[in-house]
Structure 1
Amino acid sequence: MTLILDPAMRVIEKDHQIFVLHPGDGKRFYNDFIATSSIFLDIPGIKFETSPDIGDEGVRQQLRMSRAIGGWHKSGRPEARKPSRLIEDYGVKLEGRDAPRYMREVKNLYVDAKPGDLFVIPGPGYNSRVLLAELSEDFDPDFRVDIARYGADRVPARRVTFIQTESAKYEFGQRAIQLMQNRQAIIRVSDDHDRHEFYEHAYGDYVWGDVSGSYMEVTEQVIDQKDLTDVLFLTNLYGAMYVALKAGELETFIGLPLHVAINQYYNRELFGDISIEVHSPGFFGRPMKNPAIAGFVAAMTVLATMGASPLAATTIEVQNSANGRVSACDLELEADVRSTMQIVTNAHAWWDDLCKTQKAAADQTGLKTKAKIVDKPTDND
């Protein structure tokens, strides 16, 4: 049997964008987003012919008309106040009608957002599920959705693919929660700390530019602090193990007691701030200032938890389900794990003790990573 490592580690392009999108006042479009597999702004009754140029007066006239149509629906659709559907009736009449923020929001969603960009969509209340979605395609002016509250006045929309997570709002850090409670319709996320947190929830382990991130769930309903501390200790151990591997000193590393090995090889400059959610079930995650470390930590965690044979792991193959192609990160991870396990084959006692410690910690906390090991039958099986 050949061991296959699926790191489920998303490799994210450096120019990738994240937006927090609020599904309307009172989150009224939250279920509409799910039902239509799309996202949109509150602009019913119009159709863009191309990706909208917000500097074009014709586009601005359409948006003024949409605001009138939306207001009419919200007021109960009184026949006497039915708005005109003639674009020419919506010239500039009132000062401040074209609010800059409103125009910028239209540009962000219908022009700037590109396929693969991540959208964070909060629901109502702290316990509600936060929707995470990726744009599926370029802007299609013919794609509009029917929303019951707007009758025949369809809404220009963008198709999305939802990422299957069950993250509730309270599981995010305070900075992320503040972004999700901001009343602005769409917010571009630019701060690296905020981006890392959203990447952790959306993708688990990931690589973004010259950094990576690690995300692990703890699923037991009751978790003892010592057990959680053991999990964190082992995560740090694998990070130090990576440093020793790259320094060509892994044989020295595995000859040391675990605490001594960490003290000698742990490099604080390679690790970012850790995020811990202590509610059960919960999680912990951390950005790492090296694109390869997160994958290595996840790989060693799952290999040790399952008590994998070091000899079998010397020929392990990496097949990453989170990407549509083999990346340089996948090839580097495969080489690193193979090199590590070749040295570990000469230290069975050390590896067996480590596996027992890792399995006990994982069992007590219900530890889960997105990375997994599968067996592939050989030609002789």
Structure 2
Amino acid sequence: MKVSQLENAIFLDIPGFLTDENTFTDDASIIRSLNRSAAVRRHARQPQDYPVARGLPSYSERPPLLDGKIDRSFSADLGNVRTLYVEAKVGDVVIMTPSNHFDHLLIGEITSSWDKEQTLYLSDYVGEPVPYRSVKWLSHNLTRRDFRNRVARRMQNRKAITRFDSDLYDDIFRLVYQRYVWGGISKIDVFAPGYSSADPTVTIESSFLIKYAVAAYAAIEKGEYDAFSALAIEEAADRYFDADLVIQIAQSFGSPGGYIAKLVGSAAAIVVGIFVGMALADESKSQSQIRDEAGQQIVKLQSDAPADAGVDWDAIHRSVTVGRVDDLRHKYGRAAKAKLGLTLEGHTPPQITALDPSRTGE
């Protein structure tokens, strides 16, 4: 698989692969276009020995044979075409691996379904189109060494396309995304770039905010958010915090520092993000402004989420309309920002792999 950052595109080395809206509906059409693409490559390499490629109807819908068997490289091309142009879905993660173990990976998301207008032209194959998939490149400084061994080993595969098994997704998502939901588990990173003290108590307010937000989610799940919001914030956190919802809450204040919260429930990270965000809101904003902005954020998250996400959006939206936002902001949010620079905005995940149970059993 190849990449064009200028075009925000990924594509295969199949120049002259002619397409229309029906190309990827059956193998016969794909094989015909692959046979033409092979002719384009042969002519480009040895123009004196091979003619210019002809029109698409001139090529067979049967795969080429080698010693009476289907050419293995052609079979690989056919499988790669199916994977990239038929099976890859919007939102799928793409990782382009360099040959060097220490070089940065190029990581992106597929942003749209393929259509016949998605073609580009390469200088080596003048006038011959190449279909591509659109991607959005994510900002990362990750290398293969940052991933668990079982993931890093798969990245060493030099095939054009390697598909990761679903049991490896969580290992990948935890590094690629600040927040994600996968298989009923959700995760969020909270960043603390301002830590510069030998005093261990400077983390108290920030840690409490994480605990309070998890407790708020537990109250929402139990249908008891009204009772939760009526309590003093400390009592509410103590009474409703549910350790059974926590897979991992880890913290580190090296460089970069922060928290990683990995929780049971598709909506857990959403609620934690919403409540921590309200607590860290700008001092100049009124409580009603903060609630309005949180409500708008929830609406956007809901519009971006799949319909079967299993999230009670009405309950989450209602939770930001009541409660002690100002108490939380003034007593804990203010100190968390002053002492740690606590924020939901950041690019590099907190470096807490030593505390991460998912890295055991490599």
- What TM-score results when the alignment is normalised by the length of structure 1? 0.66
Cα distance 1:88–1:152, how it changes in 2: closer, same or farther (>3 A)?
A: same
In percent, how many aligned pairs have the same letter?
A: 20
Is residue 80 of structure 1 aligned with residue 48 of structure 2?
yes
Q: How does 1:21-40 map to 2 (within 5 A)?
A: 24=1, 29-30=2-3, 33-40=4-11
| In structure 2, C-alpha distance between the alignment counterparts of 1:286 and 1:335, rounded to whole Å | 23
Cα distance 1:106–1:281, how it changes in 2: closer, same or farther (>3 A)?
A: same
* 1:337 counterpart (305, 320, 332): 320
Which amino acid is 2:123 matched to? Answer: A
Shift of 1:285: 4.1
Is residue 254 of structure 1 aligned with residue 237 of structure 2?
no
Deviations 1:245-265 (A, max 9, x none): 55535255734497xx2xx54
Contact residue 184 and residue 266 of structure 2 kept, 8 A: yes
Shift of 1:146: 1.0
- Secondary structure of the 1:333 match is helix
Cα distance 1:351–1:122, how it changes in 2: closer, same or farther (>3 A)?
A: same
Shift of 1:145: 0.9
Which amino acid is 1:144 matched to? Answer: T
Shift of 1:332: 3.2
Cα distance 1:333–1:178, how it changes in 2: closer, same or farther (>3 A)?
A: farther
Contact residue 195 and residue 253 of structure 2 kept, 8 A: no
Aligned Cα root-mean-square deviation (Å): 4.2
Which 5+ residue runs of structure 1 have no aligned equivalent? 1-23, 371-381
Match of 2:119 in 1: 144
- Secondary structure of the 1:359 match is helix
Shift of 1:176: 4.5
| In structure 2, C-alpha distance between the alignment counterparts of 1:134 and 1:324, rounded to whole Å | 20
Shift of 1:232: 5.4
Which amino acid is 1:333 matched to? Answer: I
Match of 1:51 in 2: 23
* 2:331 counterpart (323, 347, 353): 353
Contact residue 212 and residue 233 of structure 2 kept, 8 A: no
Match of 1:319 in 2: 296
Match of 2:350 in 1: none
* 2:87 counterpart (112, 124, 141): 112
| In structure 2, C-alpha distance between the alignment counterparts of 1:166 and 1:129, rounded to whole Å | 8
| In structure 2, C-alpha distance between the alignment counterparts of 1:360 and 1:81, rounded to whole Å | 72
Which amino acid is 1:107 matched to? Answer: R
Match of 1:21 in 2: none
Match of 2:31 in 1: 60
Match of 1:373 in 2: none
Is residue 130 of structure 1 aligned with residue 106 of structure 2?
yes
Match of 1:201 in 2: 176
Which amino acid is 2:65 matched to? Answer: K
* 1:367 counterpart (337, 343, 359): 343
- Secondary structure of the 1:184 match is coil
Which amino acid is 2:15 matched to? Answer: P
| In structure 1, C-alpha distance between the alignment counterparts of 2:80 and 2:192, rounded to whole Å | 37
- Secondary structure of the 1:272 match is strand
